[in-house]
């Protein structure tokens, strides 16, 4: 059981625009209108089962300082199902990270959203094609302008692609200074 009473937290409502994947291919967030909602990956299967792109949902969670995102404690679906973060050992099943093959990937595009960890630490960016670029916070800290909306970047690394999206663990990244502007 989570120590925070979700009913005491602010409620945010919106439309699910897309899913965010962690480097293991699990869901660890959604884009709600134009804001990141982070949730722990042990909720991945329940979120995938009950939430679809285009759904209206309600989220109760906390907003870390300095980051425009919500760390979710509870999410209520359009059908009224509430998915509550009760820790990684829900019931008798322990959460195990999936064994997934990471493939070399290369991508370029425009950053539409900075991505943060649950405590508000910058950890990457979401590109206009829905690809998540992920990196450790210490690496992201030096690349704030490249990971901010409007930047055009090219990235290389290893990643995964699922029916919910694509994520790349960035090994190298470059800013595209001659990128077309509209």
Split into its structural domains, the chain has a count of 2
Question: What local confidence, expressed as pLDDT, does residue 55 receive?
Answer: 97
**What domain range is 165 assigned to?**
103-175
Residue 126: inside a domain: yes
On whether both 109 and 76 belong to a single domain, the answer is no
- The residues facing 175 across adjacent strands are 153
On whether both 76 and 13 belong to a single domain, the answer is yes
On whether both 113 and 76 belong to a single domain, the answer is no
Residue 148: inside a domain: yes
On whether both 111 and 62 belong to a single domain, the answer is no
What pLDDT, in 10s, does the model give residues 98-148? 667 789 999 999 999 999 999 999 999 999 999 999 999 999 999 999 999
| pLDDT for residue 41 is more than 70 | yes
Count of Cβ atoms closer than 10 Å to residue 82 Cβ: 12
Question: What local confidence, expressed as pLDDT, does residue 2 receive?
Answer: 61
Bigger pLDDT: 181 or 160? 160
Residues in the chain: 182
Residues sharing a CB contact under 8 Å with residue 182, sequence separation 6 or more, in sequence order: none
CATH code for position 158: 2.40.50.140
On whether both 52 and 118 belong to a single domain, the answer is no
On whether both 44 and 80 belong to a single domain, the answer is yes
Residues sharing a CB contact under 8 Å with residue 144, sequence separation 6 or more, in sequence order: 122
- The residues facing 168 across adjacent strands are 133, 159
On whether both 32 and 62 belong to a single domain, the answer is yes
Count of Cβ atoms closer than 10 Å to residue 96 Cβ: 9
Residue 97: inside a domain: no
| pLDDT for residue 180 is more than 90 | no
On whether both 14 and 79 belong to a single domain, the answer is yes
DSSP secondary structure of 23-77: TTS-EEEEEETTEEEE--GGGHHHHHHH--TT-EEEEEEE--TT-SEEEEEEEE-
DSSP secondary structure of 96-133: -------EEEEEEEEEEEEEE-TTS-EEEEEETTSEEE
Mean pLDDT rounded to a whole number for the chain: 90
What pLDDT, in 10s, does the model give residues 161-174? 999 999 999 999 99
On whether both 33 and 79 belong to a single domain, the answer is yes
Give the separation between CA 69 and CA 54, rounded to whole angstroms.
19
Once rounded to an integer, what is the mean pLDDT over residues 25-37?
Answer: 95
Q: Give the CA count within 13 Å in the CB-facing half-sphere of 116.
A: 20
Residue 1: inside a domain: no
What SS3 class is residue 142?
helix
What SS3 class is residue 158?
strand
Residue 114: inside a domain: yes
Residue 54: inside a domain: yes
């Amino acid at each position: 059981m989570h120590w925070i009473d979700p009913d005491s937290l602010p409620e945010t409502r919106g439309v699910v625009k897309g899913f965010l994947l962690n480097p293991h291919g699990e869901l660890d967030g959604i884009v709600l209108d134009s804001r990141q909602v982070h949730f722990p990956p042990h909720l991945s299967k329940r979120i995938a089962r009950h939430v679809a792109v285009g759904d209206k949902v309600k989220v109760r969670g906390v907003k870390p300082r300095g980051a425009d995102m919500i760390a979710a404690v509870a999410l209520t679906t359009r059908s009224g199902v509430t998915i509550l973060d009760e820790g990684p050992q829900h019931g008798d099943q322990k959460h195990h990270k999936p064994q997934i093959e990471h493939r070399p990937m290369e991508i370029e595009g425009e950053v539409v959203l900075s991505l943060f960890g649950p405590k508000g630490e910058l950890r990457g960016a979401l590109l206009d094609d829905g690809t998540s670029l992920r990196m450790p916070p210490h690496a992201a800290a030096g690349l704030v302008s490249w990971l901010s909306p409007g930047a055009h970047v090219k990235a290389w690394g290893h990643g995964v692609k699922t029916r919910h999206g694509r994520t790349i663990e960035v090994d190298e990244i470059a800013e595209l200074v001659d990128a077309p502007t509209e």
